[in-house]
Amino acid sequence: MRSRAVRGVLLAYLTGVVALAIVVVTDKRHMAFSLAVRPAMPGVVVKPGHDGCQRRIDVEESFDSITILPAAYYHPVPRLSVRVLDHGSLRPLASGSLGDGHPENKVTPIQIRPAVPKGRSIDLCIRDVGRWKVGLFSSGPNDNEPSYATIDGHVQAADILIDFQRPPRTALSLVPDIFRRAALFHPRWVGAWTFWVLLGLLLLVVPALLCLALRAAQNRPPGREAPE
């Protein structure tokens, strides 16, 4: 009876490990990083021929597209032009565009070329090249300091909702990055290696102990109970 119970626990554990492996290999993530802005309202309104920018963005990971949440006031979203500039020198780094006809109030992707590498500070500017104004969903200015929004160079009391995307990566490929970031919030002697060791213990030691328990249960003479 004991051996059946141990065997059942071992089988459940192995099933869970296999299911988790399938998830981390097949689940793909597009998000590179986010400004963590809450979509409170279309607070940054850009008129035709004008620019709305989110400045001094620290690029945490390389990205090749963005998503915004535009309002067009009962129109399709007007044509938009996007420029990515180096924050210090204002040198152009990349660009993209959004054509006519996209529905308003929906998360809208815009491709950026070339990809922007991580580790630099940028300004991202959205120019309305259409025939009517566009409102960019935003929230209060304290969401992502020191980044800030401007319209034609004038600072706004808002931060623009922008998410930065990259080619899809599996959850498994993100594990090293997760461990490195987790190590930042622990004592100095804790590093990414610590989490790799713990993962190894979970995947190897636990099933080994279950196998030992199963063997002990099978070798116990019938009718004998384990000592209290």
pLDDT tops 60 at residue 42: yes
pLDDT band at 73; cut points 50, 70, 90: very high
**For residue 2, what pLDDT is reported?**
54
pLDDT tops 70 at residue 188: no
Mean pLDDT over residues 46-54, rounded?
98
Tell whether 131 and 186 lie within a shared domain.
no
**For residue 19, what pLDDT is reported?**
61
pLDDT band at 93; cut points 50, 70, 90: very high
Mean pLDDT over residues 10-30, rounded?
60
Residue at 207 is within a domain: yes
What are the pLDDT digits (tens) for 143-163?
567 899 999 999 999 999 999
Residue at 189 is within a domain: yes
Tell whether 46 and 150 lie within a shared domain.
yes
Mean pLDDT over residues 100-112, rounded?
94
Of 18-32, 120-134, 175-189, the range with the lowest mean pLDDT is 175-189
The residue with greater pLDDT, 20 or 109, is 109
In 47-205, at which residue ranges do the beta strands (DSSP E only) sit?
51-58, 63-68, 70-71, 80-86, 92-98, 108-116, 121-128, 134-139, 148-151, 154-156, 159-160, 162-170
pLDDT tops 70 at residue 210: no
What are the pLDDT digits (tens) for 111-129?
999 999 999 999 999 999 9
Mean pLDDT over residues 7-15, rounded?
66
Tell whether 15 and 104 lie within a shared domain.
no
Q: What's the rounded Cα separation, in Å, for the pair 10 and 13?
A: 5
**For residue 146, what pLDDT is reported?**
86
Tell whether 80 and 45 lie within a shared domain.
yes
Who contacts 150 (Cβ-Cβ below 8 Å, separation ≥6)? 51, 52, 53, 55, 156
Q: In the sheet where 121-128 sits, what is the strand order?
A: 28-34, 162-170, 63-68, 108-116, 92-98, 80-86, 121-128, 51-58, 148-151, 154-156
Q: What's the rounded Cα separation, in Å, for the pair 178 and 181?
A: 5
Are the CB atoms for 76 and 70 separated by under 8 Å?
no
Tell whether 25 and 51 lie within a shared domain.
no
Are the CB atoms for 140 and 159 separated by under 8 Å?
yes
Looking at residue 90, which CATH number applies to its domain?
A: 2.60.120
Q: Is the peptide bond before 114 cis (omega within 30 degrees of 0)?
A: yes
Q: Could you list the residue range(s) of the whole structural domain that residue 12 is in?
A: 2-29+171-219
Q: Indicate the pTM of the whole model.
A: 0.65
Tell whether 87 and 114 lie within a shared domain.
yes
Tell whether 152 and 124 lie within a shared domain.
yes
> How many angstroms from the chain centroid is the CA of residue 82?
21
